[in-house]
Amino acid sequence: MSTSLAPPGIVHEGTLVPVHNGGDSTIWLPFEKVKLYTNAFIIQDGKILLGYKKRGFGQGLYNGFGGKVEPNETPAQAAARELQEEAGIEAPLRHCGTLFFVLKNFRDHAFYVDIFVAKEYSGTIIETDEMRPQWFSTASEGLEKLDDMLPIPYDKMWADDVFWMPLLLADRPFIGRADLDKDNTMEKWWFAEKTS
Ligand SMILES: Nc1[nH]c(=O)nc2c1ncn2[C@H]1C[C@H](O)[C@@H](COP(=O)(O)OP(=O)(O)OP(=O)(O)O)O1
């Protein structure tokens, strides 16, 4: 049973506790098609692995490693493949969240993104044509930083990330939707923690 009203596009079971919602827009943007995507993060010993997107969608932003789910794949299989293709590593990925994005000036499709996380990985992290991997400290402002590692670069990430990344770092399953304008500003958003 759900205790809250989730926005269109969000599919869920269990109890949701809303943690953030807002935006100037009164309506959720309409969408026709939905495409499945993945996004995977390695979080270990006070640091998180992000990749600088060198080309294509989201170019110039830091993000996890992911992409489209191919027709013959489950999201978990796609997440493992994309992590290998974009960072050169394998990891015991766990599902930790689901996000739904609609871009105002991109009417082709909405993004349904399954988020995965792992505490370990095997292999050697490599830079690829698409991504330049880099570790960032997960320590909060004011706390001791790991060596010279920079904090998570929220100002160079999708604008929605600052809302759900703390839940990912705390290993608290989450779900949410954000409607974004073309300049990476948020028009409307809603994020919840999954408590069952
Ligand atoms: N608003 C948003 N915030 C965010 O944090 N990640 C987003 C996002 N909108 C999309 N993403 C993620 C989902 C996915 O991991 C990635 C888009 O994947 P890609 O750029 O790899 O897509 P492509 O169409 O190039 O797919 P592939 O060719 O399969 O790699 O961006």
Q: Where are the alpha helices (DSSP H) in the chain?
A: 75-87, 161-169
Query: How close is the Cα of 37 to the center of ligand 1, in Å?
Result: 7
AA identity, residue 73: E
| Ligand 1 atom 18, closest CA | 67
Report strand pairing: 94-103 vs 34-44: unpaired
Give the mean model confidence (pLDDT) for residues 68-79. 98
Ligand 1 atom closest to the Cα of residue 53 is: 20
Q: Which of 22-26, 38-42, 103-107, 111-115 has the lowest mean pLDDT?
A: 103-107
Residue 120 pLDDT > 90 = yes
Q: Domain locations in the chain?
A: 31-183
Domain 31-183, CATH number (from 3.30.300.30, 3.30.1280.10, 3.90.79.10, 3.40.50.200): 3.90.79.10
Q: Quote the CA–CA distance of 60 and 155 in Å, as a whole number.
A: 11
Ligand 1 atom closest to the Cα of residue 39 is: 15
Among candidate residues 127, 135, 146, 152, the one with its CA nearest the CA of residue 53? 127
Residue 3: pLDDT band with limits 50, 70, 90: very low
| Residues forming a β-bridge with 171 | none
Residue 47 pLDDT > 60 = yes
Residue 49 pLDDT > 80 = yes
Give the mean model confidence (pLDDT) for residues 133-145. 78
The reported pLDDT for the residue numbered 141 is 59
Pocket test for ligand 1, best of 59, 77, 106, 113 (most atoms within 8 A of CB): 113
Among candidate residues 71, 72, 100, 67, the one with its CA nearest the CA of residue 85? 67
Query: How close is the Cα of 120 to the center of ligand 1, in Å?
Result: 23
Q: Tokens 């293709």 — which residue? A: 85
Give the mean model confidence (pLDDT) for residues 23-48. 95
Ligand 1 site residues (CB inside 6 A) read 37, 39, 56-58, 63, 66-68, 101, 111, 113, 158, 160-161, 178, 180
Structure tokens at 191: 């994020």
Ligand 1 atom closest to the Cα of residue 57 is: 20
ipTM of the complex: 0.94
Query: How close is the Cα of 67 to the center of ligand 1, in Å?
Result: 5
Report the chain's mean pLDDT, rounded to a whole number. Answer: 92
